[in-house]
Structure 1
Amino acid sequence: MKKIESITHSATSVTIAVFISRILGLIREQVFAYFFGAGKSMDAFVVGYRIPNLLRDLFAEGALGSAFVKIFSSGLEKEGVEKSFKIAQILISNFLVILIIIVLLGIIFANFIVSIIAPEFKKDLYKFILTTRLTQIMMPFLLFISLASILAGMLNSFRIFFLPALSSGLFNLVSIIIGIIGYYFLMNMAIDPIYAMAIGVTLGGLFQIIFQYPLVKNKGFSFSFSPDFKNEYFKEVLRLMFPIILGLSVVQINIFINTFFATSCGEGAVSWYSYAFRIMYVPLGLFGVGLSQALLPELSRQIARKDFTMAKDTFSRALIVSLSLSIPSAIGLFMLSHPLIGVLFERGKFTFYDTSKTSQILQILSLGLPFYGLSKTAVPLFYSLGKTIIPAFGSIIAVITNVVVILLTIKKLGINGVALGTSLSLVFQSLFLLAMAIYKLGVLDFKFTLRSLLTLILASLSLIGILEILNIFIFEKIFKIILSIPLGAIIFIIICKILGPEETYLFFEKFLKTLLRSK
């Protein structure tokens, strides 16, 4: 129980930092919505940003980050700090070379990449050229964010979670400031101001490195360029990475498929989907990322000690903590989708029609949120066990589900069919990963799991009830949101606190204590 409390405490620290980042991220999206709405320039930016972001998921937040944390955390446990720093120096040098080559190739072949991922844009020459140039401007973001992810992994291994997570807030802040200043500057020069937003993305990634490196240096690490592609630890990272890349490549194929189909759903569809996903990304990033980042180093240490009983207990309790966060978040997003989108984005060039379309997509995406949370909790287990091929198979299942659903529904549902494919793919992926987790660790505590699920069901029904009552009697969007979120949260937490077990409300308790201590 102490381990899950430690992980939950670490996760709450990450969550507070990520909360700041997500709020800044929403402000960034509000800037986009106000200045660009859901038109041609915004569609071009979304696709242009998605290209380096696809590779970012492989390196920064996927294969490289997870494999590095596995090696570095195990090294700290077995061989000490000095040896681990030497390993990190070699790994960073090697990946610096690799990433620079990938970025250069991305810039050179941007035209070709855009023509594959968004062929419909070729029907509008300006839109196609704009997307290509934005892609070239944002490609270096991949290099910066990948190196920032390695630095964050090192700090996480030292159980420092808050500041690395806060660095993503710095990215959003820099993007906002440069974007707004650049908007008016480029407007005066009669240049499409969307270029300022792209420059903000690239410089935001750079500032994440500048922010985190002094923190790592304070731990005794000093970087000097010393590549060694024959190093045994580098080979081990590659060995761990390739199955993860296989799995994440499948995920990127999923995103590619979604982008491909979204660009065929008419002007604005790509932007609507992007805005909706950004809203869903708030709880998704807050809880899923926080819990996952705190869980991986702890599970790696437990499995390095071959303490599988403790790892099983840690994992099963983490699953319930994940559900206690993602289920109420999904309910809130589904029932408050229209007022949320309206309050956040409906101004400037973002119209009521855009709100309606975006809120429909958000409702569909929210259905997959609990399953995404389960997957984010399960994946660190397989990375810790060295069974990285299992998440890869889970991703393949997700892609197959996504394609089938989109093909069956896109003619009738349009962009909503793409959203439905995303949600159902998360459902099938998470069910597979949970089945494999049980196979590897053994059956989870039935009594504990059943009690937890019943509590969460009763708390969820109460949450739905209070939100429906408020929806009937309150018409003003802003007041509906202001009342619904705190009242719904209070009802949910009280029921969990009464019925138990502790994991159903543990995160909220730690979150409040951390906030009070910070004051």
Structure 2
Amino acid sequence: MGAGGEDRAGEARPAAAAPPPVRMQKALWLSAATMASRVLGLLRDQLFAALVGANAFSDAFVTAFRIPNLLRDLFAEGALSSAFVPTFAETRAHRGEAEAWRLANTVVGLVLAVVGSLTLLGMLFAPQVVALMAPGYAPAQAALAAKLARVMMPFLLLVSLAAVSMGMLNAQSRFTAPALAPALFNVGSIAVGLGLWAAGWPPERAVVGWSFGTLVGGLLQLLAQSPSLRAAGFRLRPRLGRAALADPGVRRIGRLMGAAVVGLSATQVNIVVNTIFASHQERAVTWLNFAFRLMQLPLGVFGVAIATVATAGLAQRAAARDLAGVQETLGSAMRLVAFLNVPSAVGLMVLSRPIVALIYQHGRFTASDTAGTAGALLCYALGLYAYSAVKVFAPAFYALDEARVPVLGSVLGMASNVALNLALFPVLGYRGVALGTSLSATVNFAVLAIAWRARHGRLGGAGVYRQLLRVLGATGALAVAAWGAERALEGHLGAGHGLARQLALAFVPIAAGLAAYLAAARLLGVKELSDLAAAWRRRAARRRGARA
């Protein structure tokens, strides 16, 4: 990509042709849509915990699901999305809508051929992959994990096609269907899980049925986006062959994907390394999985929502050769990340035990499992800001054809994760795995931030670091209020494990912490708070106007 806002002919393009920076209102709407999916995801996890518990069977399922899921993160929702969205946006802007659809159909054809082959290989070599990922499993547990992996491998192809659909819609700023599609994955899994619960299946049978429910959910996630794609003008006609592969858009996607796969593979290696260590400690794989899923709630609702909106804006501004607009969009996104994710991280740390107890401690999931999961959650939450920041920063480098930087960040993060696991696991056990993951994410973010400053200077909309300091100050008030409310309630309620007690110990401190954060943010002059209020007033005004 050329710098300085010039197009291919060397003529300056007006800044007005580019989209505005990340808007609070759009990010809030996408966050609300994502929230629906994440809440359903929590219900799905609740049902799984109650139905299966934390044991050898749940560990086997988690490991089996990671095989297609790691490949999905690597090829579909990772490298492919990062490469496809900016290329599709540029093709549409410079070569027309018809060429953009032709490019999309070529990518669909490649996904069917390449990912379909990977799916078959995964089914064939499932025992060997399980042996690599979980060397600490007993033979019977490893055999169960391989069986479950074979059932779930087609999930990879389904969600890869769903990721292409999501990319086409996001590149045209159509965010609603892609944000809601994962909710249907959860709906499918929950429906199957409720059937297993009603049938009274024991854990060893329930994990098999749950694996088939995963396939149902993946299919629903793909089908949910079809109406929006058709309305946008897409018609499914997969293309392959020499002429299709010679398309410059396909070549650009291949080039960006090659770099992205190298960079994102570091993240997948981290997960494999974490699983290798955790497989040597009973129930640790399940505890870490549930804790990471909880950490992903604010990451998905806020971090991914901001990153999705920002990525589309970055791709469009980069296609318009508007580097100043890229700077402004990235700076706006980073301020939103701090405003929303820093308090979320501290809240998860302070209230890890009551939150885990409320969500998971039901059915076959015991109090000792709550303690184990809470310990992992505290360590994972330390890396929430870094995780969210990487999801915003990395697409900016890809949009500017500077893919080597996120690759370097990922590789250094991977190396630090391996070193930290080796150092921390003998001392902290599974909690060392979670802490090493958070610290390695921080290393990755630091590399991206330093590289951006060196290559492109300060972010647009000065004040990112000053705003972060204000947010940290407001978050301190949140921590004190939440911790104090929890201590007071525990003393008042005494011992017990009822649902009413769990609800009080979770929601009252959350409400106290949120009130303290908003009050402190207002006193400290955090601008995003006023932006939030303004977006809410505009939305309310439109609703009143629609009713009138």
Indicate the residue corresponding to 1:371 in structure 2: 386
Query: Is 2:233 aligned against 1:220?
Result: yes
Q: Per-residue CA shift, 1:61-81, capped at 9, x if unaligned?
A: 110111111111112222222
| C-alpha contact (below 8 Å) 2:185/2:220 kept by paired residues | yes
Q: Which amino acid aligns with 1:187?
A: W
Question: Kindly tell me: are residues 281 and 191 of structure 1, through their superposed partners in 2, closer, same or farther at Cα, counting changes over 3 Å?
Answer: closer
Using the size of structure 1 for normalisation, the TM-score is: 0.94
Moved more, 163-172 or 303-312: 303-312
Indicate the residue corresponding to 1:209 in structure 2: 222
Residue correspondence of structure 1 range 342-491 to structure 2 within 5 A: 342-444=357-459, 448-475=463-490, 476-491=501-516
CA distance in 2, matches of 1:508, 1:243: 40
| Contiguous gaps of at least 5 residues in structure 1 | none
Q: Per-residue CA shift, 1:169-191, capped at 9, x if unaligned?
A: 11001011012214555839x97
Aligned residue among 133, 154, 164 for 2:178: 164
Indicate the residue corresponding to 2:350 in structure 1: 335
CA distance in 1, matches of 2:253, 2:166: 17
Residue correspondence of structure 1 range 174-185 to structure 2 within 5 A: 174-182=188-196, 184-185=198-199
| C-alpha contact (below 8 Å) 1:496/1:505 kept by paired residues | no
| Displacement of 1:365 | 0.5
Q: How many aligned positions are there?
A: 515
Q: Which amino acid aligns with 2:32?
A: I
Question: Kindly tell me: are residues 361 and 462 of structure 1, through their superposed partners in 2, closer, same or farther at Cα, counting changes over 3 Å?
Answer: same
Moved more, 479-488 or 160-169: 479-488
| C-alpha contact (below 8 Å) 1:343/1:478 kept by paired residues | yes
Indicate the residue corresponding to 1:261 in structure 2: 277
| Contiguous gaps of at least 5 residues in structure 2 | 1-15, 491-500
Aligned residue among 146, 149, 154 for 2:168: 154
Moved more, 483-492 or 401-410: 483-492
| Displacement of 1:486 | 2.9
Indicate the residue corresponding to 2:114 in structure 1: 98
Aligned residue among 241, 248, 253 for 1:237: 253
Aligned residue among 497, 504, 508 for 2:522: 497
Question: Kindly tell me: are residues 46 and 300 of structure 1, through their superposed partners in 2, closer, same or farther at Cα, counting changes over 3 Å?
Answer: same
Question: Kindly tell me: are residues 505 and 460 of structure 1, through their superposed partners in 2, closer, same or farther at Cα, counting changes over 3 Å?
Answer: farther
Indicate the residue corresponding to 2:211 in structure 1: 198
| C-alpha contact (below 8 Å) 1:48/1:132 kept by paired residues | yes
| Displacement of 1:440 | 2.1
Indicate the residue corresponding to 1:506 in structure 2: 531
Aligned residue among 73, 79, 85 for 1:63: 79
Q: Per-residue CA shift, 1:241-297, capped at 9, x if unaligned?
A: 0000001111111110000001012x2110000111111010011111111111112
| Displacement of 1:509 | 5.5
CA distance in 1, matches of 2:302, 2:451: 23
Using the size of structure 2 for normalisation, the TM-score is: 0.89
SS at match of 1:159: coil
Residue correspondence of structure 1 range 74-93 to structure 2 within 5 A: 74-93=90-109
| Displacement of 1:471 | 2.0
SS at match of 2:48: helix
Residue correspondence of structure 1 range 291-302 to structure 2 within 5 A: 291-302=306-317
| C-alpha contact (below 8 Å) 1:273/1:358 kept by paired residues | yes
| Displacement of 1:109 | 0.8
Query: Is 2:132 aligned against 1:116?
Result: yes
Identity within the alignment, %: 33
Q: Which amino acid aligns with 2:91?
A: G
CA distance in 2, matches of 1:404, 1:512: 49
| C-alpha contact (below 8 Å) 1:94/1:228 kept by paired residues | no
CA distance in 2, matches of 1:92, 1:456: 43
Q: Which amino acid aligns with 2:44?
A: R
Q: Which amino acid aligns with 1:120?
A: G
Q: Per-residue CA shift, 1:193-229, capped at 9, x if unaligned?
A: 2111111111111111111112101111111232135
CA distance in 1, matches of 2:526, 2:19: 16
Moved more, 500-509 or 98-107: 500-509
Indicate the residue corresponding to 2:340 in structure 1: 325
| C-alpha contact (below 8 Å) 1:451/1:501 kept by paired residues | no
**Structure 1 stretches of 4+ moved >4 Å:** 1-6, 183-186, 511-519
| C-alpha contact (below 8 Å) 1:4/1:317 kept by paired residues | no
| C-alpha contact (below 8 Å) 2:122/2:153 kept by paired residues | yes
CA distance in 2, matches of 1:417, 1:104: 35
| C-alpha contact (below 8 Å) 1:321/1:505 kept by paired residues | no
